[in-house]
Amino acid sequence: MKKVRENMGLRLLLTALFVALLSTAATAQGASVAFGTIAQDTSLPVEVSSDELAVDQQTGVAVFTGNVVIGQGDMRLSARRVEVVYSENADGIASMQATGGVTLVSGNDAAEAQRADYSIDDGTIVMRGNVLLAQGASALSADTMTIRLRDGTARMQGNVRTRLQTGGN
pLDDT digits (tens, 9 = 90+) for 132-163: 998 888 889 999 999 888 888 889 999 999 88
Name which of 1-10, 52-61, 89-98 the model is least confident about. Answer: 1-10
| pLDDT of the residue at 34 | 59
Distances from the Cα of 136 to the Cαs of 7, 32, 62, 148, 156, in angstroms? 29, 17, 35, 20, 17
Average pLDDT, the chain: 77
Do 68 and 98 form a contact (C-beta atoms < 8 A)?
Answer: yes
Contact 123, 42 (CB under 8 A): yes
Lowest mean pLDDT among 15-29, 57-71, 145-159: 15-29
What domains are defined for the chain?
2-163 (2.60.450.10)
Lowest-pLDDT range of 9-18, 21-30, 87-96, 128-137? 9-18
pTM of the prediction? 0.73
Q: Among 53-57, 93-97, 112-116, 133-137, which stretch is predicted with the lowest mean pLDDT?
A: 133-137
